């Protein structure tokens, strides 16, 4: 099929590459010319394992091209809308980019062509797909499908090639058939439903995952007070198939481009409909206070950070990405620098993204460099470069052997045997 993908961010680019890998003829569209120039050369604007290699392969195979002009894709069978829906000042999703993409499709649409589908992949409030359908009402042979995306940063391409499920929201069976044809050969369960259901599945999934994390983070605070081990507790809970093992890892809190934005947007959507999602309010509150709680643990070992050298390992909101949006590292760097600590930070790829906001932090090229001479070390993102370390050597290089493990990823027994004082989240 001929496919146009509007927006070349995480969702758009991985969608475009994975569809091209499946043999569709895809054109990726983005207004930002510099991005298109790079993409045409096979350079990915985002750091994502495997994406650049796959991009180069489909470019070489001729199944993927890029343009700033949607008119170059005017004969597409399917238009994917993968533009950002950022958080507006009031917490609702800002749909400006989405509606301008829809207007652009309307402009290039030629009603003489066969049935064509506008697929909304961007995360949008319930009812948006129906509004778009109203806007396109006069456009013969153009229908609208909601097809939310569940990919995770760091494994985005894999998630796009082997999705956990394909959710398709349509208002007529023939649009569903086009979508089936598009995803032919992709082995994943299908949920074919209304557009509104599809839209809410996306928000509900992210809100529920965020809820699991905040629940475990709050429980970790209790676990610290009781002297129990949250990782063992999570393991014991996760063996119950009704609970499952995923997303039970306590830490310094969730970040990223989805959970923070989507939870507030869902709360706003609920409020607009006269419903209070009180559990979700608390989820956000616990997440906002988790870095604060974590730094209180540091205070137990280093009561006054002024002039102390503190190593912060990991800045991205999770490993395998250079994304720092809503990353817990930001509030941790802010608080430590406010307290007058000399902060030495290391991240394999996210340093540049943080630098501008925190010019007083010293950025190192390795974890070892950040740790040398430190009075305490904080693990904020569990990159393997920050986890797999020679603890005997580090014990000798640090000024004080104090480790605060914000991801419960350092080997507690090993480091204690090496002479460190170790505190994890919900474990000691
Ligand atoms: C998330 C959803 O997983 C994905 O389905 C959706 O499409 C977009 O949002 P992403 O934000 O890329 O994906 O990352 P994810 O792996 O879900 O992690 C989000 C945050 O939660 C990270 O900061 C991570 O460190 C944190 N997390 C995750 C925990 O603190 N504990 C866990 O057990 C799992």
This complex has an ipTM of 0.99
Is 253 inside a domain boundary?
yes
User: Has residue 138 got a pLDDT over 90?
Assistant: no
Q: Is residue 203 part of a domain?
A: no
User: Does residue 92 or residue 121 have the better pLDDT?
Assistant: 121
What distance in angstroms lies between residue 347's CA and the mean position of ligand 1's atoms? 18
Counting ligand 1 atoms within 8 A of each CB, the residue from 46, 152, 167 with the most, and so the one to mutate, is 152
Q: Which of 193, 220, 237 is the last residue of a domain?
A: 193
Last residue of one domain, picked from the residues 193, 220, 251: 193
Domain co-membership, 397 together with 255: yes
265 annotated binding-site participant: no
DSSP 77: S
Number of domains in the chain: 2
Task: Let me know if 258 is a catalytic residue.
Answer: yes
133 CA from centroid of ligand 1 (Å): 31
Verify that 69 and 170 share a domain, yes or no.
Answer: yes
216 alpha carbon – ligand 1 mean position (Å): 14
Are residues 322 and 186 both part of a single domain? no
Residues 150 and 232 in one domain: no
Asked if the model's pLDDT at residue 111 lies above 80, the reply is no
Per the structure, the complete domain to which residue 69 belongs is given by: 2-193
Tell me: do 59 and 176 sit in the same domain: yes
C-alpha distance from residue 298 to each of 115, 157, 184 (Å): 61, 37, 52
Q: Indicate which residue's Cα is closest to atom 31 of ligand 1.
A: 249
Mutate to test the pocket of ligand 1, among 84, 249, 259, 425 (most ligand atoms within 8 A of CB): 259
Cα torsion at 213, 355, 422, 389 (round to 10°)? Answer: 100
pLDDT at 428: 82
| Residue 257 and residue 167 share a domain | no
The residue annotated as part of the active site, out of 82, 139, 258, 305, is 258
Domain membership of residue 188 (yes or no) is yes
CB 345 within 8 A of CB 357: no
Model confidence at 332: pLDDT above 80: yes
Long-range residue pairs from 297-304, CB within 8 A, at least 24 positions apart, any chain: 297/224, 297/404, 297/423, 297/425, 298/376, 298/378, 298/404, 300/423, 301/376, 301/402, 301/404, 301/421, 301/423, 302/375, 302/376, 302/400, 302/402
- Residue 275 pLDDT more than 90? yes
Confidence of residue 114 (pLDDT cuts 50, 70, 90): confident
Q: Does residue 113 register a pLDDT over 80?
A: no
pLDDT at 25 over 90: yes
| Same structural domain, 141 and 214 | no
Report the CATH number at residue 101: 3.40.50.720
If asked whether residues 243 and 375 sit together in one domain, one would say yes
Tell me the pLDDT band of 91, cut-offs 50, 70 and 90: confident
> Does residue 140 lie in a domain region?
yes
Among 248, 266, 317, which is best to mutate for testing ligand 1, by the most ligand atoms less than 8 A from CB?
Answer: 317
**Does 258 share its domain with 169?**
no
pTM, to two decimals? 0.95
Any domain includes 204: no
| 413 within some domain | yes
Residues 130 and 173 in one domain: yes
CA of 254 to the centre of ligand 1 (A): 7
- 264-284 mean pLDDT: 97
Residue 112 has pLDDT above 80, yes or no: no
Is residue 244 in some structural domain?
A: yes
The answer on whether 35 is annotated among ligand-binding residues is yes
Is 201 inside a domain boundary? no
Residues lining ligand 1, Cβ inside 6 A: 149-153, 206, 209, 213, 247-249, 251, 254-256, 258-259, 317-318
């Amino acid at each position: 099929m001929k496919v146009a993908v509007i927006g070349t961010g995480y969702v758009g680019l991985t969608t475009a590459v994975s569809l091209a890998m499946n043999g569709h003829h895809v054109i990726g569209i983005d207004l930002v010319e510099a991005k298109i120039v790079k993409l045409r050369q096979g350079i990915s604007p985002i750091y994502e394992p495997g994406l650049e290699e796959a991009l180069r392969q489909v470019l070489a195979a001729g199944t993927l091209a890029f343009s700033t002009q949607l008119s170059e894709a005017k004969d597409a069978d399917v238009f994917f809308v993968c533009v950002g829906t950022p958080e507006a000042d009031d917490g609702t999703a800002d749909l400006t980019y989405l509606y301008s993409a829809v207007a652009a499709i309307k402009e290039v649409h030629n009603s003489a062509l066969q049935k064509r589908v506008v697929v909304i992949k961007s995360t949008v409030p319930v009812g948006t797909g129906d509004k778009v359908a109203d806007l396109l009402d006069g456009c013969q042979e153009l229908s609208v499908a909601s097809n939310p995306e569940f990919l995770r940063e760091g494994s985005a391409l894999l998630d796009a090639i082997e999705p956990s499920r394909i959710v398709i929201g349509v208002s007529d069976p023939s649009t569903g058939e086009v979508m089936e044809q598009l995803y032919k050969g992709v082995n994943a369960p299908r949920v074919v439903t209304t557009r509104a259901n599809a839209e809410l599945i996306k928000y509900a999934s992210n809100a529920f995952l965020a809820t699991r994390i905040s629940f475990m983070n709050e429980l970790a605070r209790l676990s610290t007070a009781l002297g129990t081990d949250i990782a063992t507790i999570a393991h014991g809970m996760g063996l119950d198939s009704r609970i499952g093992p995923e997303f039970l890892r306590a830490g310094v809190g969730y970040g990223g481009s989805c959970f923070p934005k989507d939870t507030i947007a869902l709360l706003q959507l609920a409020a607009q409909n006269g419903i209070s999602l009180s559990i979700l309010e608390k989820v956000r509150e616990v997440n906002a206070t988790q870095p604060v709680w974590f730094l209180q643990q540091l205070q137990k070992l280093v009561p006054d950070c002024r002039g102390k050298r503190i190593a912060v390992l990991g800045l991205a909101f999770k490993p395998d990405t250079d994304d720092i949006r809503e990353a817990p590292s930001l509030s941790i760097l802010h608080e430590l620098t406010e307290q007058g600590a000399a902060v030495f930070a290391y991240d394999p790829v996210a340093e540049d993204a943080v630098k501008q906001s925190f010019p007083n932090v010293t950025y190192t090229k390795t974890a070892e460099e950040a740790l040398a001479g430190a009075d305490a070390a904080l693990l904020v993102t569990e990159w393997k470069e920050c986890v797999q370390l020679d603890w005997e050597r580090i014990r000798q290089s640090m000024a004080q052997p104090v480790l605060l493990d914000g991801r419960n990823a350092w080997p507690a027994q090993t480091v204690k045997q090496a002479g460190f004082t170790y505190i994890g989240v919900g474990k000691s």
